[in-house]
Amino acid sequence: MRLLVTGATGKVGRALVDRLQGTCEIRALCHNRSLDVDGVESVFGSIADRDAVRRAMAGVTHVVHLATCKETPDEIMDVAVKGLFWLLEEARESPTFERFVLIGGDAAVGHFVYKHPVPVTESQRHTAYEGCYALSKVLEEVMLEQYQIAYGLNSTCLRAPWIMDRDDFRYSLSFGTDQFGGPPWRELVDGDVPDGAVPLALDADGRPLKRNFVHVSDLVEAIAIALDHPAALGQTFNICMDEPVDYQHVVDHLASTRGLPAVKVPTPHHSTWLDNAKAKLLLDWKPKYDTELLIDEAWAYQRSPEDPRIVWYPG
């Protein structure tokens, strides 16, 4: 296996490289950041540049496409549409190509923006919400599907919700300027917030919000399986925890284990349940992380001075 990873310097990409290092040849297509890992080849250039993609794809057997953008209208179509198009074009013309794995997102099926009265399965139609990011995730999945239809391209899509690692989940619950992602809890409540408080997020119906997550290690294991599993051919899989995170469960667990107070936070969002049964059945993949493990590891993680948090918003 000679594997090309796009987005290799990101959270999932670096974890994937660490997981597969020594098991196959790995090449990274790098743009703004370099990947300084022994034994990993780097090709530099923009994914929107066909010549750069052609150099990166030379002799490759497998591709994991992780490169993406958030709400950046000036860049997102170059990465999500043009970049993916060049990758797929090179893949279908390559004499060495074997499989393409796209990492999609639950933004393609509406995330928590729309009501989902039943669990969200892979058969639900695409439902992008406002902004360019969700649209890009829909376009990626549709483009991959059409290459499967038109050219019989050997590929699969792993659709992931919000990806957690290390202390990400802890800071996703912060009311401070160090909050990781969104929604911005502090802007949704009036008055003072007690020290150490965590949000009891409420959905649009006033009930505790249920939101989907996946730990990076569980996603990486799913990618490793999908690279050569026969049942992955031409399929889309939801890759997520067995149950969504229930914010009532979160505040109850943090109150009982760490004595943390909670503040109710009304939101306009809707509870969702992303169904991972298909991946468990066909790929024999099972997530290790549940809500309590996600919480406990996030609170136990201690960062070193060489490992600073990178605070970003929006989520």
- Residue pLDDT, tens place only, 76-126: 999 899 999 999 999 999 999 999 999 999 999 999 999 999 999 999 999
> Chain-wide mean pLDDT for the chain?
95
Q: Would residue 308 count as lying in a domain? A: no
State whether 41 and 146 are in the same domain.
yes
Question: What's the pLDDT score for residue 309?
Answer: 80
State whether 108 and 88 are in the same domain.
yes
State whether 28 and 143 are in the same domain.
yes
Number of domains in the chain: 2
State whether 112 and 134 are in the same domain.
yes
Given a contact cutoff of 8 angstroms between Cβ atoms, the answer to whether 171 and 308 are in contact is: no
Residue 314 has pLDDT above 50, yes or no: no
Report pTM.
Answer: 0.96
Q: Would residue 276 count as lying in a domain? A: yes
State whether 106 and 255 are in the same domain.
no
State whether 200 and 219 are in the same domain.
no
Percent of the chain past pLDDT 70, that is, above it, reads 98
Question: What's the pLDDT score for residue 182?
Answer: 87
Least confidently predicted of 171-175, 245-249, 308-312: 308-312
pLDDT confidence band for 312 (50 / 70 / 90): low
State whether 9 and 71 are in the same domain.
yes
Residue 136 has pLDDT above 50, yes or no: yes
Q: Tokens standing for 89?
A: 């074009």
State whether 45 and 60 are in the same domain.
yes
Least confidently predicted of 45-49, 76-80, 105-109, 194-198: 76-80
State whether 78 and 94 are in the same domain.
yes
**Domain containing 197: what range?**
167-209+245-266
State whether 219 and 83 are in the same domain.
yes
Cβ density class 254-290: b for 16+ within 10 Å, e for less: beeeeebebbebebebbbbbbbbebbeebbebebebe
Q: Would residue 306 count as lying in a domain? A: no
State whether 230 and 178 are in the same domain.
no
Residue 269 has pLDDT above 90, yes or no: yes
pLDDT confidence band for 235 (50 / 70 / 90): very high
Residue 143 has pLDDT above 70, yes or no: yes
State whether 106 and 235 are in the same domain.
yes
Over range 1-24, report the average pLDDT. Answer: 95
pLDDT confidence band for 315 (50 / 70 / 90): very low
Q: Would residue 305 count as lying in a domain? A: no
